[in-house]
Structure 1
């Protein structure tokens, strides 16, 4: 329960923070959010399941609300607060602006830090070896490096080394001012297999120093991928233990999609046979370095299991070469309902078992080498390149086993999308096999919701067509007891601040002539004296219109022609010089784009952003819904498009002082039943619908 003293503390903190915020206005919606978050996390609604799901419109002050509602509770319960985001922009905002301000004015002695994945840091030992070794040493250290570093890459490596040893650079990729080429970074990046804290030579590596600091932190800011990496390891391996953590999942509408990507696996056939051959040679080299007889036995086991896997993969190669699959235009064939042929299934079991045996043997050899170094039997400079290479093969074996284990389970349990893609090279062809679970709710339920001390999930777009059902189902919260769902409106005065216009149209968006129609009618809805943003549903349609308008003399800023940062810089410069600006983009530009005030006054959406189910995963999802008697268009496509439309319209108003106009050139919003439902989920702008 929320004690009176804790309520008083939260009210006092709120007052301190509010008194120091410029242009602060008391908002009932924000106060309500703070109270509901605090009550949920204190267990007032459910003793065990302390989870709330919040949709809060732009301008509500979500980040301040969850800091106020969750931090005092976390401190009182002696729990860590982990804030997970989907975008770097929000992480930077929290670390450089929101949390420093909150820490300064809340009167709480809190420490916070940004947690990055291991691969964002250098391994100091690898950096030293790369600098002090010759070209051959570099090639040994990085199995994927097929040729020595170029002169430019070597110069970059030297600059990194000098800056690090002179304490002018802390050793993480993000704080280096220039771009570090991937070939250089992959040579020196920290990895869990070679850079281990129990080895004396690695104890002062930047990653381990950063992890030590985390133990003293009250608040950790992470991204969704790092959260999933920790859950995949069982929780509490990278981050604090889930039962000792209160999670804030900001930008939560990305969670299911990122979880799905994280749970997928893929591998080629002939490519795998090739690298298994290299692993066989490497294992012999590794066995010679190891001290003791046990390693010899593990090497025999490793060799046997690699040979078994290769033999069975060659059978699979022959099956795929001989079978006439009905490939699509992009050389993809999806197995209906995720069910693979029996011949492939029996081999999948054999490959799954062989790769698991290989993984166990290689892990044991790897651990033996780590122990030999710790015991002083092998020098670190001898062991490091071998540990780096064995770590590289361990990662590949893990992914290979993940794929074939899933193929071996066939269509049992959770529905999966499984497909083959034909790959044609100059000298040979190959097959890429892929696997992805269609539903990931069960995973989040088991690994996160049932383990954590509490969770707050929030975003400006979590409902679809006015309901949380779609989101709850995707994220594994659909049948969970005690989950609190809260929808908080934005403080904006929508009818006064913006007009939504749906003009008449003679051509339907599904018509082939629609692109030409857009090119003709779009100029009527642009204001060359203002800041314009035009959003398209596809790249090719955008390019078609761009070509037509440029012939008419229009000066356009087009997504893809410049980096996002350069594009926005140019757009703002145009507006600052009173020139007006026209920015063209696709759906990816409709999220996380902040153009307040004069930087966006005229927004045009050319088409409802329906996703065409062209990827094997989307096709499998639709097939699964149909197999259950559902309508994939109404249960997946429409809710997803409705959320995207809300996001797109959300670009116009960022502050309570903003004003402008939204034009949607898709009449289906008024002619179709689903369109009217979508229209009703949009904010209550002043409407102008032509008849």
Structure 2
């Protein structure tokens, strides 16, 4: 429960923020958020389920609200706060602006840190070897011969690390580091180990020590999922001692699904499997102990059997490639093309019986091989610690073994998903093959086997919701069609277990500051004449006026955007900033520069420009949305989702597509008003918004703009 002392601490912190924040205006929405989050995490609604999901519109001050409520509570209970975001921009806002301000002015004694994955840090030992000319360190080899400029960069990195002017993370280096160089010296979990004296002072381990002392951790969703999949507490703080704030939470289900998926290339896997026995033998010889003989022999036997089974699978796929990947592609769900690759999805996730039987065998052999290789790996580490083996001899093998351990883990995960018997009541796994053609990057043709869960709600329940001390999920777009149901299903949340749900409206005056115009259009987007109508319509909406000098035009596809852009440039001599022609940051900077010079400025963008784009005030007053943002299910996972809904007697369009479109439309319209004094218009060029039954649902889920139907 919230004690009087804790309530007073939160009130005082909130008051102090108001007194020190320039142009601060008290917001009842922010007050409500602070109170509801604090009461939920303190167990006033449920002692067992301390989870609150919040949709808070732009301008509600949700970042400060969740900081003001979670941090005092965590400090009082000796717990940590883990704030997870989907974008670098929000991380930077929290670490460089919100948290430092809170620490200075709120009267709260806390430390915070931006937690990064291991591969964002340099390995001190690898870097020292890379710049050393002394034997035996000179044995360090590059996968790609370094240029003279690369050597100079490595020496500068080493010097900066030694004199303390660089902390060893790639993000704080003064310039972009070439990938082929960074890859050689970055930290890895298999050779850069804290209990090996040569690595005990590596930047990653020092960062971990700082992280362990911090009260507030800022992470991205990927790092959060990586920790949870390891059981929690391996990278970040333990879930039972942590209050999680999942900001930009609408991304969480997809990130979880991506982390839960697996894939392998058949020929590629056969190639690296041939190296496993060789590496195992080298490790056994270096260990110089009888206890290494048995796992080395077992590893050789299991890997040989594994190679035989994998070759069977490759032969099976090659023999069936004509039916899996026909020369001509018919419309349908099973055979289709993704980019330049051919894809075959197993209908309802059901794979041939022969492949199913091999799946069980390969999964078990992968597990056995992994166990044997891990035993050799751990024995070699012990030999180094005991002084029986020199570190410089062991380190290359540890790194190589670590690489193969990761490959075997992925191999086991993939075949476990193929071997799994799907529940009759639950959603099946999505399972598919991809025919990878040879190209400049890939010297030969190969086949990729892929699998992914369709639903990840159960995984989030097991890993996070049932384990954590409490959780706050927030975003400006969690609801679909004015309901949390769609997100609740995706994220594995319930509404009958004490979990709380809160929708907080933006303080903006939508009725007086913004118009939503549904333009009169002759054609629907699926008409072949629609693009030509856009070419005629859009110039009239971009005409120079004192009111609207800054425009953003959002398209549903690149080809349509490029065709319209070419026509408008050729026929109307319009100067356009088009996504893909320059970097996103350059387009934004150039647009703002144009606006600052009182020039007309027009951005053409696709779906990615409808989220995370912040153009306040004069930088955006005219938003044009060419089409309701429906997306065709083209990925194997999306198709499998639709197939599962149909199999259960549902309508995938209404169950999946319309709710998803609702969220995307809210995101797109959210580009217009970023501050309370902003104003402008939104023009929607899709007549379905008023002619289709679902159109009213989509429009009613938007903020209360002044609505005009032409």
Fold match, TM over 0.5? yes
Higher deviation after alignment, 391-400 or 280-289: 280-289
- 8 Å contact from structure 2 (residues 113, 218) kept in 1: yes
User: d(CA) in 1 for partners of 2:345 and 2:528?
Assistant: 28
Give SS of 1:655's match. Answer: coil
Structure 2 CA distance for partners of 1:480 and 1:136, relative to 1, 3 Å: farther
| Aligned-residue offset at 1:287 | 2.0
Give SS of 1:661's match. Answer: strand
Give SS of 1:551's match. Answer: helix
User: d(CA) in 2 for partners of 1:139 and 1:307?
Assistant: 31
1:423 and 2:443 matched: no
User: d(CA) in 1 for partners of 2:154 and 2:584?
Assistant: 28
Give SS of 1:419's match. Answer: strand
1:42 and 2:53 matched: no
User: d(CA) in 2 for partners of 1:253 and 1:133?
Assistant: 51
| Aligned equivalent of 1:319 | 316
| Aligned equivalent of 2:522 | 506
1:333 and 2:344 matched: yes
User: Deviation string for 1:202-223 (max 9, x for gaps)?
Assistant: 1100000010111211111011
- Structure 2 counterparts to residues 65-464 of structure 1, below 5 A: 65-132=65-132, 145=143, 147-323=144-320, 324-327=322-325, 328-330=335-337, 331-412=342-423, 415-425=428-438, 428-464=444-480
Higher deviation after alignment, 95-104 or 20-29: 20-29
| Aligned-residue offset at 1:153 | 3.0
Give SS of 2:323's match. Answer: coil
| Aligned-residue offset at 1:315 | 0.6
Give SS of 1:24's match. Answer: coil
| Aligned-residue offset at 1:329 | 4.4
Give SS of 2:448's match. Answer: strand
- 8 Å contact from structure 2 (residues 457, 493) kept in 1: yes
| Aligned-residue offset at 1:480 | 5.4
| Aligned equivalent of 2:509 | 493
Match of 1:618 among 628, 638, 660: 638
| Aligned equivalent of 2:667 | 647
Give SS of 1:238's match. Answer: coil
| Aligned equivalent of 2:330 | none
1:688 and 2:708 matched: yes
User: Deviation string for 1:401-459 (max 9, x for gaps)?
Assistant: 10011111143465211000112227743210000000000000011000000000000
User: d(CA) in 1 for partners of 2:48 and 2:135?
Assistant: 58
Give SS of 1:481's match. Answer: coil
1:594 and 2:614 matched: yes
User: d(CA) in 2 for partners of 1:182 and 1:667?
Assistant: 47
| Aligned equivalent of 2:328 | none
TM-score by length of structure 1 reads 0.97
Give SS of 2:213's match. Answer: coil
TM-score by length of structure 2 reads 0.95
| Aligned equivalent of 1:23 | 23
User: d(CA) in 2 for partners of 1:287 and 1:547?
Assistant: 64
- 8 Å contact from structure 1 (residues 417, 620) kept in 2: yes
Match of 2:653 among 629, 633, 640: 633
| Aligned-residue offset at 1:63 | 0.5
| Aligned equivalent of 1:667 | 687
- 5+ unaligned residues in a row in structure 2: which ranges? 326-334
User: d(CA) in 1 for partners of 2:253 and 2:649?
Assistant: 23
- Structure 2 counterparts to residues 458-497 of structure 1, below 5 A: 458-478=474-494, 481-497=497-513
Higher deviation after alignment, 479-488 or 241-250: 479-488
User: Deviation string for 1:221-244 (max 9, x for gaps)?
Assistant: 011111100111001111111000
User: d(CA) in 1 for partners of 2:635 and 2:490?
Assistant: 18
Give SS of 1:325's match. Answer: helix
User: d(CA) in 2 for partners of 1:381 and 1:528?
Assistant: 69
- 8 Å contact from structure 1 (residues 325, 333) kept in 2: no
| Aligned equivalent of 2:585 | 565
How many positions carry a matched residue from both structures? Answer: 687
User: Deviation string for 1:117-164 (max 9, x for gaps)?
Assistant: 01100110111112226999899667xx3x423334333322222222
User: d(CA) in 2 for partners of 1:504 and 1:135?
Assistant: 77
Give SS of 2:255's match. Answer: helix
Higher deviation after alignment, 288-297 or 652-661: 288-297
| Aligned equivalent of 2:568 | 549
Structure 2 CA distance for partners of 1:134 and 1:257, relative to 1, 3 Å: farther
- 8 Å contact from structure 1 (residues 129, 381) kept in 2: no
| Aligned-residue offset at 1:6 | 1.4
| Aligned-residue offset at 1:527 | 4.0
Higher deviation after alignment, 286-295 or 179-188: 286-295
Runs of 4+ in 1 over 4 A off after TM superposition: 133-142
User: d(CA) in 2 for partners of 1:326 and 1:375?
Assistant: 54
Higher deviation after alignment, 407-416 or 244-253: 407-416
Higher deviation after alignment, 412-421 or 97-106: 412-421
| Aligned equivalent of 2:332 | none
- 8 Å contact from structure 1 (residues 83, 222) kept in 2: yes
User: Deviation string for 1:229-266 (max 9, x for gaps)?
Assistant: 01110011111110000000000000000000000000
Give SS of 2:81's match. Answer: strand
User: d(CA) in 2 for partners of 1:49 and 1:598?
Assistant: 44
- 8 Å contact from structure 1 (residues 141, 388) kept in 2: no
Structure 2 CA distance for partners of 1:483 and 1:306, relative to 1, 3 Å: same
User: d(CA) in 2 for partners of 1:102 and 1:338?
Assistant: 50
User: d(CA) in 1 for partners of 2:417 and 2:632?
Assistant: 27
Higher deviation after alignment, 310-319 or 380-389: 380-389
- 8 Å contact from structure 2 (residues 427, 644) kept in 1: no
Structure 2 CA distance for partners of 1:134 and 1:418, relative to 1, 3 Å: farther
- 8 Å contact from structure 2 (residues 136, 392) kept in 1: no
- 8 Å contact from structure 2 (residues 137, 392) kept in 1: no
Higher deviation after alignment, 126-135 or 618-627: 126-135
